[in-house]
């Protein structure tokens, strides 16, 4: 019912978005004519097989790649990284500054821009939100993968963004750590009321975290399926994932994903 | 096989001790019959004489200060040139071939050119040493900058850092390990070229003392100065590494873990 949605409830308005990238001198169409909205305070999951262009889509929303078509952020055409939007990268090792402590990494986006005391307050708040208060003065390479990704999330939170874009942030973590961070993300979202776009190739993760889900597939990639996931705000790794509703949504997405792959392949 | 540090150090002394012993023995027993080949004892005696006369200190101080002055000039220039070239793709494409040619040219071949321009002056020493020491820093800074991870630059854009901030907080620190390699190579070269220009003709420093001792047929003193140059090189490198460890948290923690 998009016509019922008030304009100020729309964070991103994407119309006919296409992205071409040059690789080894060859221009390739990665995304073709995508149209969708991202609504305030929702978590939109975007799933798709590896290599479809999910990351490219997210980078377009972040203002990191040139696009054609129209992307409006709070009603204004997006060109370049917008303020209030932060992308959390999959590759936390290279996204963190290994010569800076946890605290200094979290400070990167706000230091020198706001008064010192306020800056320290924000840093402390962000670090406590992700539960790293005992690791303030550690260096990233002294931490586990999950903790490093938390540092990156804390750095994003310290910017007080209205929108968080997640690029498969838990993709390279083990299952236990990943589930812990998923719950942490749900908690952070309920505290900060941040709008999220979450990209993953893990269908369970997409359904568990999303209020809405979109399937990206094909080459060039387009949106082939959309699903509302009204599981509510409080979700639980065991109960939610065993509930009939959850399994039903999961089933639908799997089916659509197979269909998009010509029925021949399982998901990747 | 893990050998305790102290033990490893002791083991390290065995080979040189045996070599020096053999050297002494082979001359004393007449196994080597070069007239101007001194025994280690004679070298030690010469070293003592030079130290007492104050000559050793004067010459070493000259060479070390020229080495360091040239190195500092080379480092500042090298990092500046490296950053500018590394950051600008068109510039990099335009000058990289020239840089490769210039730095591959054996620098010693340029010493005569320097002599023609500057004569045997302090300026000659500093210019030649600085020129030599600059290239490793230029080349390593360029690769450091160009190897900055794209992810890191994206982070800079995402957190809306200004160009200066990106350079200062992301590109420079991430290139620092390679820049340090360049600086360290440069320090070694700076000493070598300082001594070379002293040997060729600048009337001061260890190189000059070494060649004077040779011409005056004082082989003991000559070897004493060779020893001193070696020691200076070793110590400069050691101090550099110590400082580098001291300022790098990553290195420091590794050192502690050992």
**Residues B2/B3/B8/B10 CA torsion (nearest 10 deg):** -170
Residue at B223 is within a domain = yes
Q: Both B27 and B49 in a single domain?
A: no
**Helices and strands (H and E) in chain A: how many:** 9, 10
Q: Write down the mean pLDDT value for chain A.
A: 86
Q: Are A166 and A20 in contact (CB under 8 A)?
A: no
Beta-strand relationship, A195-200 and A163-167: parallel
| Cβ neighbours around A101 below 10 Å, total | 18
In three-state secondary structure terms, B93 is helix
| Whole-number pLDDT of residue A9 | 84
Residue at B173 is within a domain = no
Closest CA–CA distance from residue A91 to any residue of chain B (Å): 8
Least Cα distance to A198 among A209, A187, A186, A190 occurs for A209
| Whole-number pLDDT of residue A166 | 94
pLDDT class of A266 with cuts at 50, 70, 90: very low
d(CA A60, CA A82): 11
Q: Are A117 and A167 in contact (CB under 8 A)?
A: no
| Whole-number pLDDT of residue B34 | 72
Least Cα distance to A144 among A158, A132, A155, A156 occurs for A132
Q: Both B79 and B128 in a single domain?
A: yes
Q: Which homologous superfamily is A10-81+200-261 in? A: P-loop containing nucleotide triphosphate hydrolases (3.40.50.300)
Q: Both B11 and B60 in a single domain?
A: no
Q: Both B2 and B26 in a single domain?
A: yes
Q: Both B122 and B236 in a single domain?
A: yes
CATH of the domain at B97: 1.10.3720.10
Contact status of A139 with chain B (Cβ, < 8 Å): yes
Residue at B142 is within a domain = yes
Residue at B97 is within a domain = yes
Residue at B174 is within a domain = no
d(CA A226, CA A213): 6
| Whole-number pLDDT of residue B254 | 56
Report the complex ipTM: 0.84
Q: What is the number of CB-based contacts under 8 A between chain A and chain B?
A: 52
Residue at B160 is within a domain = no
Nearest to B249 among A80, A86, A99 (CB): A99
The domain in which residue B89 lies consists of 42-147+181-257
Domain boundaries along the sequence of chain A: 10-81+200-261
Least Cα distance to A223 among A77, A93, A38, A80 occurs for A38
Q: Do A62 and B249 touch (CB under 8 A)?
A: no
Q: Both B5 and B103 in a single domain?
A: no
Q: Both B4 and B124 in a single domain?
A: no
Least Cα distance to A151 among A81, A114, A113, A101 occurs for A101
A76 or A106: which leads in pLDDT: A106
- Cβ neighbors of B220 (< 8 A, separation 6 or more) are B38, B42, B43, B45, B46
d(CA B254, CA B258): 6
Q: Both B128 and B10 in a single domain?
A: no
| Whole-number pLDDT of residue B258 | 36
Residue with tokens 């490793």: B136
Q: Which whole-number Å values give the CA distances from A130 to A71, A155, B84, B246, in the listed order? A: 31, 10, 39, 31
In three-state secondary structure terms, A63 is coil
| Whole-number pLDDT of residue A1 | 45
Q: Both B12 and B140 in a single domain?
A: no
Residue B124 token pair: 């000659």
d(CA B192, CA B198): 10
For chain B, the domain total comes to 2
CA B121 to chain centre: 21
d(CA B244, CA B232): 18
pLDDT class of A242 with cuts at 50, 70, 90: confident
Residue at B157 is within a domain = no
d(CA A47, CA A207): 9
- How do residues B240-253 score in pLDDT, each as one tens digit? 998 888 877 666 66
| Whole-number pLDDT of residue A3 | 52
Q: Max Cα separation, chain B?
A: 76
| Whole-number pLDDT of residue A97 | 93
Q: Both B109 and B130 in a single domain?
A: yes
Q: Both B136 and B194 in a single domain?
A: yes
Q: Both B208 and B231 in a single domain?
A: yes
Quick one: angle between helices B40-53 and B55-87, nearest 10? Answer: 90
Q: Are A106 and A126 in contact (CB under 8 A)?
A: yes
| Whole-number pLDDT of residue B20 | 87
Q: Are B27 and B220 in contact (CB under 8 A)?
A: no
Low-confidence ranges of chain B (pLDDT < 70): 1-4, 249-258
Strand partners, A70: A15
Q: Are A148 and A92 in contact (CB under 8 A)?
A: yes
Residue A103 has pLDDT above 60, yes or no: yes
Nearest to B249 among A85, A139, A155 (CB): A139
d(CA A211, CA B256): 48
Contact status of B250 with chain A (Cβ, < 8 Å): yes
d(CA A160, CA A24): 38
- How do residues A7-48 score in pLDDT, each as one tens digit? 678 889 888 888 888 877 788 888 888 889 999 889 999 998
Q: Show which of residues 73-92 on chain A sit within 8 Å of chain B, judged by CB atoms.
A: 80-81, 83, 85-87, 89, 91
Contact status of A65 with chain B (Cβ, < 8 Å): no
Nearest to B151 among A80, A95, A99 (CB): A95
d(CA A92, CA A143): 11
């Amino acid at each position: 019912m998009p016509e019922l949605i008030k304009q100020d409830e729309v964070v991103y308005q994407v119309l006919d978005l296409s992205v071409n990238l040059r690789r080894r001198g060859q221009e390739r169409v990665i995304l073709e004519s995508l149209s969708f909205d991202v609504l305030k305070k929702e978590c939109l999951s975007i799933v798709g097989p590896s290599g479809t262009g999910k990351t490219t889509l997210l980078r377009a929303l972040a203002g990191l790649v040139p696009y054609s078509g129209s992307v409006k952020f709070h009603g204004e055409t997006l060109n370049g990284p917008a303020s209030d939007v932060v992308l959390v990268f999959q590759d936390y090792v290279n996204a963190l500054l290994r010569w800076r402590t946890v605290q200094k990494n979290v400070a990167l986006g706000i230091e020198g821009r706001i008064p010192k005391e306020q800056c320290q307050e924000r840093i402390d708040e962000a670090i406590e939100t992700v539960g790293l208060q005992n690791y303030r003065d550690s260096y990233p390479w002294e931490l586990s993968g999950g903790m490093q990704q938390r540092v990156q999330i804390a750095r994003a939170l310290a910017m007080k963004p209205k929108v968080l874009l997640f690029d498969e942030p838990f993709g390279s973590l083990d299952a236990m750590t990943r589930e812990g961070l998923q719950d942490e993300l749900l908690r952070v979202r309920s505290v900060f009321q941040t709008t999220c776009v979450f990209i993953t190739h893990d269908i369970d993760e997409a359904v568990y975290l999303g209020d809405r889900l979109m399937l990206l597939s094909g080459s060039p990639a387009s949106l082939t399926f959309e699903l509302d996931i009204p599981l509510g705000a409080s979700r639980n790794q065991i109960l939610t994932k065993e509930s009939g509703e959850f399994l039903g949504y999961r089933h639908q997405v799997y089916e659509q994903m197979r269909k998009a792959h010509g029925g021949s392949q399982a998901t990747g | 096989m893990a050998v305790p540090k102290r033990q490893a150090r002791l083991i390290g002394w065995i080979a040189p001790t045996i070599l020096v012993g053999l050297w002494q023995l082979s001359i004393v027993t007449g196994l080597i019959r070069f007239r101007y080949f001194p025994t280690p004892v004679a070298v030690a005696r010469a070293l003592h004489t030079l130290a007492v006369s104050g000559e050793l200190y004067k010459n070493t101080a000259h060479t070390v200060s020229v080495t360091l002055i040239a190195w500092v000039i080379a480092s500042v220039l090298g990092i500046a040139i490296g950053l500018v070239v590394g950051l600008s793709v068109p510039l990099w494409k335009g000058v990289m071939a020239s840089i490769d040619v210039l730095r591959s040219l054996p620098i010693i071949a340029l010493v005569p050119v320097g002599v023609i321009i500057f004569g045997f002056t302090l300026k000659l020493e500093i210019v030649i040493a600085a020129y030599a020491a600059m290239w490793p820093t230029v080349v390593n800074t360029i690769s450091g900058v160009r190897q900055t991870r794209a992810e890191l630059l994206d982070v800079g854009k995402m957190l809306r850092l200004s160009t200066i901030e990106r350079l200062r907080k992301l590109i420079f620190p991430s290139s620092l390990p390679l820049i340090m390699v360049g600086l360290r190579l440069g320090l070694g070269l700076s000493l070598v070229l300082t001594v070379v220009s002293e040997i060729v003709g600048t009337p001061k420093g260890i190189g000059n003392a070494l060649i004077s001792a040779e011409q005056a047929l004082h082989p003991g003193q000559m070897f004493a100065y060779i020893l001193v140059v070696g020691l200076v090189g070793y110590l400069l490198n050691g101090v550099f590494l110590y400082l580098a460890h001291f300022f790098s948290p990553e290195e420091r923690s590794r050192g502690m873990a050992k």
